[in-house]
């Protein structure tokens, strides 16, 4: 399929959300393709996932750069040279500054394992368990310079069950992450969702947008 939206995926770890995107992009009817995967950690397993899928994998160790600005310039150069139109953070453990975001205005996505704005930052699942919430989940949002503070596009909810530990809750949330992220990428790639004036806009209108993002099994 020609004319597909080119994605750049930034990773730091195992890359299970990268795999979900790679699997989605392998479908002939999916409107996007992963053009390059970039990791700031040379040992990240996500790099192996990219290579197995035949996708360019690049290591940019942030510690090898003299400043955050230099690191982000190298990131931008790598993504631009690959023709990237949308940037997807998939377990990328670095905050991105305004200079980087300015090169991809309104076109940087992140997925976070909580129902934002609750529990931003690290160990969101542990935070949820410590606070005793009954519902957890994941959020896909546009990225701004803050930590998990950008405009929310879509969320998926999972129950917190009696006896859950961090591993069990993480696994339950991950299943929804792997469903939700490709769905949002499809919506932004086709223009069905966009960022306008700091607000998330759905081309089909709010009602249809809510319907398309509803969890499987939820009542209509």
Distance CA 52, CA 47 (A): 9
What does the block give as tokens for 131? 């606070």
The alpha-helical segments, DSSP class H, found in 160-203 are 166-189
Catalytic machinery residues: 112
Q: What angle is formed at CA 103 by the lines to CA 20 and CA 28, rounded to 5 degrees?
A: 30
Distance CA 140, CA 177 (A): 8
Q: Which of 6, 47, 28 is nearest to 185 (CA)?
A: 6
What does the block give as tokens for 136? 């957890």
């Amino acid at each position: 399929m020609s004319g597909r939206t080119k994605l750049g995926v930034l990773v730091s770890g195992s890359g299970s959300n990268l795999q979900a995107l790679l699997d989605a992009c392998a479908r002939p009817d999916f409107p996007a393709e992963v053009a390059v995967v970039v990791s700031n950690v040379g040992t990240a397993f996500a790099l192996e996932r990219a290579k197995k899928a035949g996708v360019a994998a690049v290591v940019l160790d942030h510690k090898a750069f003299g400043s955050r600005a230099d690191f982000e310039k190298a990131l931008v150069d790598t993504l631009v040279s690959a023709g990237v139109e949308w940037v997807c953070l998939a377990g990328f453990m670095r905050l991105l500054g305004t200079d980087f975001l300015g090169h991809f205005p309104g076109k940087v996505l992140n997925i976070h394992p909580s129902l934002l704005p609750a529990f931003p930052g690290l160990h969101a699942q542990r935070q949820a368990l410590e606070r005793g919430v009954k519902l957890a989940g994941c959020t896909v949002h546009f990225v701004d310079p803050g930590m998990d503070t950008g405009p929310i596009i879509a969320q998926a909810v999972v129950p917190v069950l009696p006896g859950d530990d961090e591993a069990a809750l993480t696994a339950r949330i991950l299943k929804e992450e792997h469903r939700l992220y490709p769905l949002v990428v499809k919506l932004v790639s086709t223009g069905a969702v966009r960022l306008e004036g700091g607000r998330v806009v759905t081309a089909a209108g709010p009602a249809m947008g809510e319907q398309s993002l509803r969890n499987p099994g939820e009542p209509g």
